[in-house]
Chain A
């Protein structure tokens, strides 16, 4: 079974600084997707960034980027120039590219990020 581990329950960052959230996962699949979701106090789940395992290039979306290490099964999220609006719970998630498990996401337990003005 696939598992996703986020080892940092809480983190904080000064406004305008950079922070990195960690995620590791376990799978026997070779083709899969990894995601970072943001959940602000509104509760809405918002997709931040997505990485396809077959792509060697790390995904980037504006101030958000990932460090994807397939051999190490590591998928960290870097937030640059942190803003007050980045304060939220962040979830790492995994799903296979296709097959029986591709209809569900497996989530980590989340990291609560605080941004200090």
Chain B
């Protein structure tokens, strides 16, 4: 199993550009999430999905869009990049339901918006 994979690992954008951060998992997990990590802020939830076709907003959703057409993939779209979106982005997944199912994280994408 590859676990949770993210591409790219690094990206530099200019203000106003759009891009998609890719996330895939091969563990058949229902729950997938996107977090951003900023210095001194910990990780904050952007969007999440509880299954194919079902997504919802987290704590900091503005400027981002998601969709979930398959169980495996959960891309994050930046519609018009802004310097405030400079951050490290993590995708995560875990099995559905209650219980102590561990959250598995991808390796992260470091995004810089100039």
Which residues on A are within 8 Å of B, measured CB to CB?
4, 9, 33, 35, 42-45, 47, 50, 52, 91, 97-99, 102-105, 107-110
Contact = CB atoms under 8 A, between A and B. Distances in A.
Interface of B: 31, 33, 35, 40-45, 48, 50, 58, 88, 90, 92, 94, 97-100, 102-103, 105, 107-108, 110
Contacts, number: 54
B99 A109 contact: no
A109 B42 contact: yes
Residue in A33, A50, A52, A99 with the greatest tally of chain B CB atoms within 10 Å: A33
Main secondary structure, interface of A, reads: loop
26 contacts: A4-B42, A35-B103, A43-B88, A43-B110, A44-B105, A45-B92, A47-B102, A50-B102, A91-B42, A91-B43, A97-B98, A97-B99, A98-B97, A98-B99, A102-B98, A103-B31, A103-B50, A104-B33, A104-B45, A104-B48, A105-B35, A105-B103, A107-B42, A109-B40, A109-B41, A110-B40
A98 B105 contact: no
B58 A104 contact: yes
Given A43-B108, A44-B105, A98-B98, A103 B42 contact: no
A108 B107 contact: no
A50 B94 CA distance: 15
Contacts of B58: 104
B108 A44 contact: yes
